[in-house]
Amino acid sequence: MDVTLPELRLVPAGRIDAVDARTRTRRSISLESFHVARTPVTAGQYAAVLAADPARPRPRVAPPTGGRAGRSGAGQDRTPREPDDVPVHGVTWFEAVRWCNAASRVAGLDPAYRVEDRTVRWDVRSAGYRLATEAEWEHACRAGTRGAHHGPLGAVAWTAEDDLDGPRPVAERLPNAFGLHDMLGNVWEWCWDYADTARYGEYRSLRGGGWADRAWSVRAGVRRASAPDARIEDVGFRVARGAVGEAGVPAAQGWSDAADRDRARVAGLLPLGWTPLAFDEPGTPSDR
């Protein structure tokens, strides 16, 4: 089966300032060059890669006829089926990670992730498909700009101003200077990083805004987060590729396992609603 994998663009090395609103701190992050997909993963790409994955279990009997599996919600039945060129949406973080590994296998690359139940480890030296870190995502989104958007919002993003009831086909609005479409609006995109291991446990970060969000929420610096097994209608993902960091060191491109652990250590009484993430062996968050 011929499978068209996401088209990639080179994002040059650079530096970005990351702001932590809760701790009111700022740090400067140096980034190596990497590749990122021109658009979010589409419904067609999502289905085609899963079908071609050499590690996919093959059915022993023919599947029943009469129904058509939709491609927008990670294999969930949807009627009618959405077009192949809209971003896949309603996918969990875990499904996005597993799709990255499937895409790597289809491309003949070593997968970037080792997945064991709810534990996911990233080999930062892998050239396989993966989710961008938050720092990579923001650097790719801004494309050298410093404002809230890389262009007039109505020209680069689908938002609530367009009065939509679902995502639009990718690449219909203008790209940024790196040639990337839909970095803002259309669907939120999962990133690799935890949102805050002290306050939100295993929640993972989302960036970019969606088709139903107002302008204030569709900005390069806005963060949102959700549980890695949450299925949210306006959430999709975009893939990156690139060997970054040092072999055997769980840190790269603004992310660090050590920093996640340090952040989760909260002394004294916990504020109401905080759920620090517990860790077991180095590099491994425990199941909760």
Average pLDDT over residues 198-215: 97
| The pLDDT of residue 79 is above 80 | no
Instruction: Give the model's pLDDT for residue 216.
Output: 94
Give the span between the Cα atoms of 97 and 110, in whole angstroms: 14
Specify the higher pLDDT residue, 11 or 75.
11
Least confident of 25-39, 111-125, 273-287: 273-287
Instruction: Give the model's pLDDT for residue 2.
Output: 75
Does residue 9 contact residue 179 with C-beta atoms inside 8 Å?
yes
The reply to whether 284 falls in a domain is no
Sequence-ordered alpha helix ranges (H) in 56-115: 93-107
| The pLDDT of residue 210 is above 50 | yes
At which residue do the structure tokens 């949807």 appear?
Answer: 78
Q: How confident is the model at residue 73 (pLDDT cuts 50, 70, 90)?
A: very low
The reply to whether 202 falls in a domain is yes
Please tell me the total number of residues recorded for the chain in this structure: 288
Q: How confident is the model at residue 282 (pLDDT cuts 50, 70, 90)?
A: low
The reply to whether 241 falls in a domain is yes
CATH number at residue 238: 3.90.1580.10
pTM over 0.85: yes
Instruction: Give the model's pLDDT for residue 58.
Output: 73
- Alpha carbon dihedral 153, 156, 157, 163, in 10-degree steps, equals 80
Q: What is the CA 217 to chain-centroid distance, rounded?
A: 17
Average pLDDT over residues 64-81: 43
3-state class (DSSP) for residue 127? coil
The reply to whether 275 falls in a domain is no
3-state class (DSSP) for residue 264? helix
Q: Which domain holds residue 156?
A: 8-54+70-258
The reply to whether 271 falls in a domain is no
Instruction: Give the model's pLDDT for residue 288.
Output: 35
Q: How confident is the model at residue 61 (pLDDT cuts 50, 70, 90)?
A: low
- Alpha carbon dihedral 33, 34, 38, 39, in 10-degree steps, equals -120
Instruction: Give the model's pLDDT for residue 147.
Output: 85
Average pLDDT over residues 174-186: 98
- The C-alpha angle with vertex 66 and arms to 65 and 72, in degrees rounded to 5, equals 100
The reply to whether 3 falls in a domain is no
Instruction: Give the model's pLDDT for residue 57.
Output: 81
| The pLDDT of residue 280 is above 70 | yes
Instruction: Give the model's pLDDT for residue 82.
Output: 78
Does residue 206 contact residue 190 with C-beta atoms inside 8 Å?
yes
Average pLDDT over residues 118-141: 97
Give the span between the Cα atoms of 191 and 197, in whole angstroms: 15
Does residue 238 contact residue 134 with C-beta atoms inside 8 Å?
no
- The C-alpha angle with vertex 150 and arms to 218 and 139, in degrees rounded to 5, equals 90
Instruction: Give the model's pLDDT for residue 78.
Output: 42
The reply to whether 266 falls in a domain is no
| The pLDDT of residue 284 is above 70 | no
Q: What is the CA 108 to chain-centroid distance, rounded?
A: 22
Instruction: Give the model's pLDDT for residue 70.
Output: 38
3-state class (DSSP) for residue 11? strand
Average pLDDT along the chain: 90
The reply to whether 273 falls in a domain is no
Does residue 191 contact residue 205 with C-beta atoms inside 8 Å?
yes
Domain count, the chain: 1
> How many C-beta atoms lie closer than 10 Å to residue 29's C-beta?
18
Instruction: Give the model's pLDDT for residue 60.
Output: 63
Provide the percentage of residues in the chain whose pLDDT is more than 70: 89
> How many C-beta atoms lie closer than 10 Å to residue 95's C-beta?
21
Residue 275: closest CA among 215, 225, 210: 225
